[in-house]
Amino acid sequence: MAHITTDLLVIGAGSGGLSVAAGAVQMGADVTLLEGHKMGGDCLNYGCVPSKALLAAGHAAHAMGAGAAMGITPVAPDIDYAAAKDHVLRVIEQIAPVDSQERFEGLGVRVIREYGHFTGPRTVRAGDTEITARRIVIATGSSPLVPPIPGLDQVPYLTNETLFDLRDKPDHLLIIGGGPIGMEMAQAHRRLGCQVTVIEGMTALGKDDPELAAIALENLRAEGIEIVEGAAAQQISGWDGEVSVETPKGTFTGSHLLVAVGRKPNIDTLDLEKAGIETTRAGIKVDRSLRTSNRKVFAIGDVAGGLQFTHVAGYHAGLIIKQALFGLPAKVSTAHIPWATYTDPEIAQVGLTEAQARDRYGDKMEVARFDYSHNDRAIALRQDKGLIKVMVVKGRPVGVSIVGYQAGELIATWSLAIANKIKMSGISAMIAPYPTIAELNKRVAGAYFSPRLFDNLKVKRVVRLLQKLLP
């Protein structure tokens, strides 16, 4: 058996693990990276990248029938589902070299294509190699959660790990789960010519602001997607090409079934107990510095049991670099971490929702609102259904919720504001080119100040007085 001693051992070559490895090796550390499956992890191969590529194909198909308001005669697109999947694969292939073994070995990272498991507090075995490391980072990510629904194990079903290999277009796609993954794939497949039914046990898009979620769901239903809420799956039966899902609201039958009810941390094969690492139901137990109960081991990204987003894993990676390489203190904050659901319209959130802000701050919190229908660029694009809400306490934004065109782009400004404690006056002072969607951020800040300026009798008296006194 080969033995390796290294400064930093990274377990998992997803977005978080790759960011740690690249940053650490370029700063002079000896880095070993383990990956037993695909480089790039879930995001590149099964998640963010392929899902957005398929959504883009659906958008292209939808655009062919959506131009009547602009004088463009709608036409029915000729959809080649397999070719759309080829587009997805080409997108993955174009991005893959950035995450490849060759690139990381070129940077100086020792890459071992094996799964790893702990044999002691600072030792990990990967195939026929045992590795001793000064610091270890667990970045093994998460996998689709397959719920114990009676009959599910007896029928063919898809998850996000198998959906993108499907070449034959589903006639009728059933989706269990009305969260971001379920709703994004529902719209993509509907626009690519499939009948789609979403079966949600509670409320669709239930983690988002209800007012904003309702706007998105209205559009999804208008496109022909059947969304059944409060319908927990009780029994599943059928065979290849005909699957039925029994719920309290009836039985739904389709040609294909996609299970999209959540994620589970990839920890089962790590033998964490041999390293003295504690876990919870959500994943590996970490403190605010992302340290596990073993002080030499960190956990980042999905496996750490917090927000499950690629950009969160990247954020975690930066904190690890500070601590493991420079010994500097670093603690996680979630206040400035945004997320987005890429349906049409998009939904984006950073910080507290309106309900959360009211619970925390009560009457000290104000809500500034601005509607897309008052944005000239949105009107010109016929994308004027949407809303931005900013939750403000003592002049500072503590949360922002957006539904509408390019919401995922707009939210970045508010992450910047919250991260750097920028007041609403700072947002109001920015200048956005006219006409742009970005003006919405400035205009909602203006909406916050408007009643203070235009409905304030003291301001009006001062202005009238100054008009008499000024030359």
Given a contact cutoff of 8 angstroms between Cβ atoms, the answer to whether 138 and 294 are in contact is no
The reported pLDDT for the residue numbered 466 is 62
| Residue 247 is assigned to a ligand binding site | no
The reported pLDDT for the residue numbered 457 is 64
| Residue 388 is assigned to a ligand binding site | no
| Residue 200 is assigned to a ligand binding site | yes
The fold for domain 338-454 equals Enolase-like; domain 1 (3.30.390)
More confident residue, 242 or 468: 242
| Residue 93 is assigned to a ligand binding site | no
| Residue 141 is assigned to a ligand binding site | yes
Q: Give domain limits for the chain.
A: 2-39+100-144+264-326, 152-261, 338-454
Give the least confident one: 1-5, 44-48, 346-350, 467-471.
467-471
First to last CA, the chain: 91
The answer regarding whether domain 152-261 maps to CATH 3.20.20.150 reads no
Q: Architecture of domain 2-39+100-144+264-326 in CATH?
A: 3-Layer(bba) Sandwich (3.50)
Share of the chain above pLDDT 70, in %: 97
Structure tokens that stand for 134 in this block = 């000064």
| Residue 181 is assigned to a ligand binding site | yes
Rounded distance between C-alpha atoms, residue 370 and residue 267, angstroms: 44
| Residue 97 is assigned to a ligand binding site | no
| Residue 182 is assigned to a ligand binding site | yes
| Residue 241 is assigned to a ligand binding site | no
| Residue 351 is assigned to a ligand binding site | no
The reported pLDDT for the residue numbered 469 is 77
Average confidence score pLDDT of the chain: 95
**If you average pLDDT over residues 317-344, what whole number do you get?**
94
| Residue 395 is assigned to a ligand binding site | no
Common-topology check for domains 2-39+100-144+264-326 and 338-454? no
**If you average pLDDT over residues 49-54, what whole number do you get?**
98
| Residue 116 is assigned to a ligand binding site | yes
**If you average pLDDT over residues 382-401, what whole number do you get?**
97
| Residue 183 is assigned to a ligand binding site | yes
Full-model pTM: 0.94
| Residue 318 is assigned to a ligand binding site | no
Rg (CA), the chain: 25
| Helix (H) / strand (E) containing 89 | helix 81-95
pLDDT tens-place string over residues 440-465 = 999 999 999 977 665 666 756 766 76
pLDDT of 430 > 80? The answer is yes
**Residue 228 CB-half CA count within 13 A:** 18
Given a contact cutoff of 8 angstroms between Cβ atoms, the answer to whether 18 and 321 are in contact is no
